[in-house]
Amino acid sequence: MSEIVATVYANHGRWVARCPRPEWLGGPCRNAEHYGVHAVGGRPGGLTDEEFLCSRCGVEARAEWPANAQEIARVLMDRPVPETRNWLPGETVLRLQMENVEHGILPWTLEELRSMPAGLLFRSVEPAPDYELTDAELAARNAESYAAAEIEDR
C-alpha cells in the first residue's frame, strides 16, 4: 500500500485539505479539514503541520504543505476580502502578486514607489526616457504625447 497524502491549499484565508480517502478504503469521503481553530465555530480542525485526520471517516494521512506556505500566506493576507484569499497547488507566488496588482493591491509602500525609477512599473512601446532631458523638454514631450492621444480619440 502507498502512503496516503492530504494536499494542503488555501481557501477563503484558511489552510485546508480534502480527505484523501482512497478507493481501497471505500472511495472519496468529500470532507475537508482546516488548520487551527475555526474562526466561526471554534472547532479545532483535523489538519496539523504534519498530519491530516478526517473528522468524518477517520482517515489519517500525511499533510503535504507547500514549501513556501509562509510566502503564499503573506501575499494572500494583503487581500482585504477573506473570500479572495485562495491558492491551489501549482499557482506561483508571482501569479498571486500579479492578481493582487490587477485588483489595485500593491506590494510596495508609498515610499518604495517614490524611490523607484520612472518607468519601472509600466511597460512602454517607446524606449526608456532619456533622464538627461530638462524639465522643459520633458514637458514638451508630454504635451506632444497628450496631443497625439487626443487626435486618436476623435
Out of 33-37, 100-104, 129-133, which region has the weakest mean confidence (pLDDT)? Answer: 129-133
Question: Are the CB atoms for 48 and 37 separated by under 8 Å?
Answer: no
Q: Which has the closest alpha carbon to 140: 152, 129, 124?
A: 129
The amino acid sitting at 148 is A
Mean pLDDT in residue range 91-109:
88
The pLDDT tens digits for 55-93 are 999 999 999 999 999 999 999 999 999 999 999 999 999
Question: What distance lies between CA 89 and its chain's CA centroid?
Answer: 11
Nearest to 6 by CA among 68, 61, 82, 70: 61
- Share the mean pLDDT of the chain: 81
Q: What's the pLDDT at 114?
A: 72
Per-residue model confidence (pLDDT) at position 118: 59
Assess whether pLDDT exceeds 90 at residue 53.
Answer: yes
What is the average pLDDT across 91-103?
92
The predicted structure's pLDDT at residue 25: 85
